[in-house]
Amino acid sequence: MTTIPRKQPESLGGTIVHNLPFPRELTPEALAWLKSMEPISIEQPYNIIYLHSYAQDSPWFAGLTNNKILANRDPVSGYTYATPRGHDMYSGEETDWIDITEREARVHAFTVCHFGSESFLDQTPYVLIQVEFEGVDTLLLSRLMGVDPQDANLDWIGMKLEPKFIRNSKLQPTDVYFVPAE
């Protein structure tokens, strides 16, 4: 025979309330007072586990974590993408991963951002660039550091770049940024 517990086990987890007003005796007056009682407000931390998969793009983020910039190449045409792409946009064929970390990189285009999303608001103004890699057909959107955004000029177009990687990967495209090559 199963024993049914008569009392719910208590733990120290959850909400702890101190000095909650409540009448000692439930007289008619006290019960009437309950109608005027202020609502109880509870502040509790809210935690959720969000599972996200990078799926076929996972090697690209693993590369950034290991200070490598990977690209995808169509094995038939040789068309090369600077951003992760599992299949060629023309043939639909599965692409191969290649390492472009050491390839010459240059500023193709740039813009100075004086406003940004909440994540970047405290960093404005900052410089966004499209990076052109030698032998790669598409561009990589990234940030240019080590320049004064207030001093932006067209001389930056074609500037040689060097990739830098943040020390503690966040598994985000911002794990890599660029500085002027020395």
At 147, which helix (H) or strand (E)?
A: none
User: In the prediction, which pLDDT does 20 show?
Assistant: 80
pLDDT at position 12 is: 63
What is the three-class DSSP state of 132? Answer: strand
Q: What are 106's strand-pairing partners? A: 132, 160
pLDDT at residue 15 in the model: 67
pLDDT string in tens for the chain (182-residue length): 666 666 666 666 666 677 788 888 989 998 888 888 888 877 777 889 988 889 999 999 999 999 999 999 999 999 999 999 999 998 899 999 999 999 999 999 999 999 887 777 788 899 999 999 999 999 999 999 999 999 999 999 999 999 999 998 888 999 999 999 98
Q: Per the structure block, which two tokens stand in for 31? A: 């019960």
- pLDDT score for 34: 87
Residue 84: C-alpha distances to residues 91, 95, 102 (Å): 16, 9, 17
DSSP state of 64: H
Domain boundaries, the chain: 58-180
CA 177 – CA 143 distance, rounded (Å): 5
For residue 123, what pLDDT is reported?
A: 83
pLDDT in the model for residue 5: 66
Give residue 39's pLDDT. Answer: 81
Read off the pTM.
0.72
